[in-house]
Amino acid sequence: MRVGIIGFGTQGKIRYKAVEEIVSENKILKIAEISPIQDYDIGVSKQVKDYKEILNDPQIEAVFVCVPNFLIKDIVCKALNSKKHVFCEKPPGRNLIEVQTMIEAEKANPECKLMFGFNHRHHDSILYTKELIDSGEFGKVLWMRGRYGKSVQEDFCNTWRAKKDLAGGGIFLDQGIHMLDLFLMMVGDFDEVKSDVSNLFWKLDVEDNVFAMFKNKKGQVASLHSTMTQWRHLFSFEIFLEKGHMVINGLLTTSGSYGKEELTIAKNRFNGPSVQWNKEKKIIYNINTSWKNEVIMFFDCIENDTEVPMGNSADAHKLMKLVEKVYEDDNSKK
């Protein structure tokens, strides 16, 4: 697979390392980045400043789009129309209309694969949790609760992420969208949305907190809190089922800010005593393989000409439809 990377910020560097780890020899032909690339032995000839040089290169088969939100839609569409396979970082555009535009470009180029990067689905703890749910051993999912938060520094206010016209949204679109995507992974979809979108501290034109509730026709409910006024980074994903529960606390990330990734599993006891803390099974994960596994999936779909199973455009459309409902419902505006 001959690859080009458009954008070499944090995510571009992560994808670069994943591709380098997977392929037997260096197949990254070009990297489009305006700023000088330091601390990476990529060779001067590989860096280009205009991403169109990647799209116009007939040798390059696939591109990784790792750019700010306001650039995503145009670059993805141009890449697909240039007959390139596209892996695009989340979010899938700034809004639902941009997702729909990219889907139209995908339909116009059926020979090209389009995948969006929701790496949380590829964490080993998440995959094992999904396996347990699908096994039926614990019965059906009753409810879920997700908390995903961090703090930001004052210089955040001067970045593109703090401007709604460039980012499309705040902490929910940037980070909380991962938790919502995990909700969808576990139960499929939701029909009802209730939310409160607020700016409690930073007073920007993008939100710093979202409290949202989701419910589907099966009666399954999920509660989400996405925040950037949580001064201690935290990831907590709880799933309670008819016959037990699974709880993931902590998450292995590139920054290491969320602590160890621990999955707790327990079966219900209806006749007492209730489940005790020391009776739960705990699994601690020490290696984050999500970035690598996600890229492997993308390459496998290209090489075997199969449909993208996770992070495809249908997943993106379903996700962004709910994101839009969260912003539209926003009880704080009523």
What residue ranges define each of the domains in the chain, with the CATH number in brackets? 3-117+292-311 (3.40.50.720), 120-288+320-333 (3.30.360.10)
**Beta-strand pair 281-285/221-227:** unpaired
For residue 91, give the nearest of 313, 314, 320, 330 by alpha carbon. 320
Tell me the mean pLDDT in the region 54-58.
97
DSSP annotation string for 208-258: SEEEEEEE-TT--EEEEEEESEEEEEEEEEEEEETTEEEEEE----SS-TT
pLDDT of residue 42: 67
Q: Is the dihedral of CA 136, 137, 142, 148 positive or negative?
A: negative
Tell me the mean pLDDT in the region 93-97.
98
pLDDT of residue 155: 92
User: pLDDT tens for residues 238-270?
Assistant: 999 999 999 999 999 988 999 999 999 999 876
pLDDT score of 162 more than 70: yes
DSSP 329: H
Question: How is residue 293 written in tokens?
Answer: 């596994």
User: pLDDT tens for residues 311-321?
Assistant: 999 999 999 99
